[in-house]
Amino acid sequence: TNIAVFASESGSNFQALHEAIQCGELNARIALVVTDKPHAFVVQRADKAGIPVLAISPKDYPTKAEYEAFITTELKRHEVEWIVLAGYMRLIGPTLLSEFKGQILNIHPSLLPAFPGKDAIGQALSHGVKVTGVTVHYVDEGMDTGPIIAQQAVEVIEGDRELTEKAIHEAEHTLYKNTLNKLFSKSLAKR
Ligand code: GRF
């Protein structure tokens, strides 16, 4: 299964997926990394892994539709079947949504529908929740609103934000690869 990973930041989820593929835990191929932030650390990670990167800023396109149309062309050229968002800090627009209907996934560091949007971990901690977690969901036009596919709870470690964040990120890395594996084997069975 050919996937594209979209990321705007450090790319630790990209790295975890790449490693899972390398060691045979995830049956997929990352055909392309797409970033809207040419200086993001994920670009270095992808280069090191030998995976092509499409780094384009929407600012260089007159409209979001044209930006996404260009991305679509590149995704098709790389025969991408699924778009896997991993810290991509932009809403997906109608162009990509219609080209990749039902084939776009996101991971979010909270138990949705609680704490959508930016800094979900910070939001959860300021709210004082005792249990938070991570969610994998289909992407629709909203912000972290699409149908939920899988969730994993993570207990907040009182008074230790750093350890709590670490546990959440570890949960993301495990949940994403396991969920992708299940989805891809189902969609292969359907063919
Ligand atoms: C992750 O927590 C992801 O769920 C969120 O942004 C973060 C990206 O982290 N949407 P990384 O770039 O994969 O390290």
For ligand 1, the distance from its centroid to the CA atom of residue 140, given in whole angstroms, is: 18
Q: What is the pLDDT of residues 24-58, one digit of tens each?
A: 999 999 999 999 999 999 999 999 999 999 999 99
Select from 9, 45, 108 the residue to mutate for testing ligand 1; criterion: most ligand atoms less than 8 Å from CB.
Answer: 9
Q: Looking at domain 2-190, which CATH architecture does it have? A: 3-Layer(aba) Sandwich (3.40)
For ligand 1, the distance from its centroid to the CA atom of residue 13, given in whole angstroms, is: 6
Averaged over 135-163, what is the pLDDT? 98
Residue 10 tokens, joined: 């450090």
Domain extents in the chain: 2-190
Sheet of 29-35, strand order: 53-55, 29-35, 2-6, 82-85, 104-108, 131-138, 148-155
Whether the complex's predicted ipTM surpasses the cut of 0.90: yes
Averaged over 86-101, what is the pLDDT? 97
Residues annotated catalytic, as ranges = 108
Averaged over 84-88, what is the pLDDT? 98
